[in-house]
């Protein structure tokens, strides 16, 4: 399996690591920070328990510095998520390495969607992401990772979420080496390229694509016809459906996440079928982090629909 996943180590022209291969988990919640903060904190603690010691070793401070995530740092993060009062938003970034893009990264964008003084519309969400290096998946297997993702998901009142093989590159740092990365994205259609900050501003209760693990909440699940309709529309032996509390659903498309390598001409049909079902509900991401032109991003998001 490892040989089918590309080893990605991209550097900027200044030599800084800006992207690597791994797995990303993203969840989007049409809820304000104060409503989801306890669930986000519990999910972060579950992620911390499941990863090796010091996987998260640094955090971004309010003044822009990157500081060691020691006991004092964890106390600050707890205060920032659970206790801080009066803030219009809660932004948290925890990372493995202060100077390189590592395999472990936690990002949270909590917003006060019910604050009349806070500029937003119905497209804004609170979003959270967790990443793992590919080695974590290979050493523990997809069953272990799926169980962990479920543990995290149960804590979060998501409208949409997913887990996928991905280019790990927080905040769109990959753009510094985009000419090396874009051919990889063209070849491996199963690789996700994410930007939590931008996507969480525009996704609302819509979808972003079809993934190895695709989480559907409300109202999206209802708009798709509910679990029974999806059972009928995705009649593939490898596909499994797991209902979750709160009228939500996890769809697992394959045992292992697929790279969908175009050179091997192997296209698991269930990825395309789910992408086609979700396409009417795809978000329209803003430009800037992907390209200056909206059309390349639109085509890339619909890569599995062809």
The DSSP letter of residue 142 is: H
Of all residues in the chain, the percent with pLDDT exceeding 70 is: 95
Cα–Cα distance between 195 and 168 in angstroms, integer?
Answer: 10
Compute and round to an integer the Cα radius of gyration of the chain.
18
Average pLDDT over residues 24-52: 96
**Cα dist from 11 to 18, 20, 60, 261, whole Å:** 5, 9, 21, 23
CB atoms within 10 A of CB 22: 25
pLDDT attached to residue 175: 84
The SS3 of residue 108 is: strand
Show me where the domains of the chain are located: 7-299
Q: What is the pLDDT of residue 290?
A: 67
* Average pLDDT over all residues of the chain: 91
Amino acid 70: pLDDT:
95
Distance CA 182, CA 231 (A): 35
φ, ψ for residue 246 (rounded to 5)?
80, 25
* Arithmetic mean of pLDDT, 121-146: 95
Q: Long-range contacts for 236-245 (Cβ within 8 Å, ≥24 apart)? A: 236/269, 236/270, 236/273, 238/268, 238/270, 239/270, 242/150, 244/153, 244/154, 244/215, 245/154
Give residue-wise pLDDT tens across range 151-203.
999 999 999 999 999 999 998 888 888 889 889 999 999 999 999 999 999 99
Alpha carbon distance 197, 105 (integer Å): 14
Give how far Cα 200 sits from Cα of 109, 123, 188, 262, Å. Answer: 8, 8, 24, 29
Instruction: Give the pLDDT band (50/70/90) at residue 265.
Output: confident
Return the pLDDT at 132.
98
Quick: pLDDT tens for 204-259.
999 999 999 999 999 999 999 999 999 999 999 999 999 999 899 999 999 999 99
In this structure, the chain runs to a length of: 306
Write down the residue that tokens 């909206």 correspond to: 294
Q: Which residues face 95 on adjacent strands?
A: 58, 105
| Range from 55-69, 90-104, 141-155, 204-218 carrying the lowest mean pLDDT | 55-69
Q: How far is Cα 212 from Cα 268, in angstroms, rounded to an integer?
A: 11
Q: How much is the average pLDDT of 97-104?
A: 90
């Amino acid at each position: 399996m490892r040989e089918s996943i590309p080893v990605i180590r991209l550097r900027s022209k200044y030599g800084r690591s800006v992207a690597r291969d791994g797995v990303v988990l993203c969840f989007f919640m049409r809820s304000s920070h104060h409503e989801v903060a306890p669930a986000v904190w519990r999910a972060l603690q579950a992620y911390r328990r499941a990863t090796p010691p010091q996987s998260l070793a640094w955090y971004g401070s309010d003044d822009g510095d990157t500081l060691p995530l020691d006991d004092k740092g964890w106390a600050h993060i707890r205060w920032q998520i659970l206790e801080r009062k009066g803030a219009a938003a809660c932004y948290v970034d925890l990372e493995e390495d202060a100077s390189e893009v590592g395999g472990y990264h936690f990002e949270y964008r909590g917003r006060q969607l019910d604050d009349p003084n806070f500029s937003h519309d119905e497209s804004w969400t609170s979003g959270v992401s967790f990443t793992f290096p590919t080695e974590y998946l290979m050493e523990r297997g997809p069953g272990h990772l799926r169980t962990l993702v479920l543990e995290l998901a149960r804590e979060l009142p998501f409208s949409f979420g997913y887990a996928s093989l991905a280019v790990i590159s927080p905040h769109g740092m990959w753009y510094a080496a985009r000419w090396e990365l874009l051919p990889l994205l063209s070849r491996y259609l199963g690789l996700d390229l994410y930007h939590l900050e931008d996507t969480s501003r525009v996704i609302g209760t819509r979808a972003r694509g079809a993934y190895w693990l695709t989480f559907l909440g409300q109202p999206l699940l209802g708009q798709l016809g509910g679990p029974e309709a999806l059972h009928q529309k995705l009649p593939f032996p490898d596909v499994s459906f797991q209902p979750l509390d709160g009228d939500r659903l996890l769809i697992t498309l394959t045992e292992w996440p697929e790279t969908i390598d175009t050179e091997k001409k192997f296209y698991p049909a269930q990825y395309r079928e789910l992408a086609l079902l979700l396409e009417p509900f795809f978000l329209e991401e803003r430009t800037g982090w992907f390209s200056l032109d909206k059309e390349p991003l639109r085509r890339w998001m619909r890569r599995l629909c062809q």
